[in-house]
Amino acid sequence: MATELPKNAILIVNTASRSGAETFDPACEKLTAAGVHLIDARAVDDPAAMSGEVRAAVDRAPMVIVGGGDGSLSETVDHFLGRDTVFGLLPLGTANSFARTLGIPLDLDGAVEVIASGEARRIDLAAIDGAYFLNNAALGLAPVVAESVPSALKRSLGRLGYLLWAGWSAASFKAFRLRVHDGHVMHRLWATEARIANGRFHGGIELIENADLESGEIVVQVVSGRSLVKLGWSYLASAVKAPSRHEAVREFHGERMRIETRPRMRVSIDGELGPETPFEAWAVPDAVTVAAPRS
């Protein structure tokens, strides 16, 4: 039986996200019209202040709605860990991978409808050395792009801007040595990208189809080998659902895994830069309650 969502909430929007500034006022109006009573609503223009705003709000309302991209959502989800407060979300970023994984519509009306009429759902988080995240982390070309992509390009062209910059960055990128210890076996291979997944989408594309938010496991998906053409094919084949899309990758499943690379590399966590290798990644079962579409 579905668990009803609270009708009282606090809204916090990162207005520095791709569509945050233009969406704040309409979001307040649409949520109120849909029957959600906003105890408070805050437009935050400094992304660094989002975490503190959400931390304070979790103690004041039965549901806190966070508007922003995957980075904003992942940065603030820690404050819901082990709490009964419902984590609602408005997807206002570029890729919106977590919203896609949950099945939340990317338009404002659809996302508001989920918050007003959806259900409370308990899901897993993943963690890398104690940094919790909702959807996906990556090693390889993705962190290079995340660190260097011009903000103007990302804001104006969205996912296309990421793809263009990824193509530019690939010219100087080289494959790396990867070791994945799944708790039983140490796997050694060359790789151009490794995805540590809690959810199915990465960069707005459904890449890790076997990931499940309620499995109690994480998936490490590796684009193996040294060919950047193979890396590009992995994205293209997954985007168009080519039957051969699984041939470019290897997958490892487990509750906890150790990741090592040579040379040492930074990991990007839901689009934001995280720690260097080596690190441990693990699943955190039934960690937070989210506002999700009805089953």
Each residue's pLDDT tens digit, 221-246: 999 999 888 888 888 899 899 999 99
Question: How far does CA 208 lie from the centroid of its chain?
Answer: 12
CATH topology of domain 131-285: Tumour Suppressor Smad4 (2.60.200)
Angstrom distance (rounded) from CA 250 to CA 55? 38
Q: Which amino acid is at 73?
A: L
Angstrom distance (rounded) from CA 99 to CA 295? 15
Got the DSSP string for 115-166?
HHH-EEEEEEEEEETTEEESSEEEEEHHHHHHHHS-HHHHHHHTHHHHHHHH
With a CB cutoff of 8 Å and minimum separation 6, the contacts of 269 are 74, 128, 131, 133, 137
Average pLDDT, the chain: 89
Each residue's pLDDT tens digit, 245-266: 999 899 999 999 999 999 999 9
What is residue 77's DSSP assignment?
G
Phi then psi dihedrals of residue 137, to 5 deg: -125, 160
Half-sphere CA count of 108, side-chain side, radius 13 A: 17
Q: What residue spans in the chain does CATH classification 3.40.50.10330 cover? A: 3-124
Q: Which amino acid is at 46?
A: D
Q: What residue spans in the chain does CATH classification 2.60.200.40 cover? A: 131-285
Residue with tokens 């990644």: 281
| Low pLDDT (below 70) residues in the chain | 1-2, 20, 142-172
**Domain 3-124 bears CATH identifier 3.40.50.10330:** yes
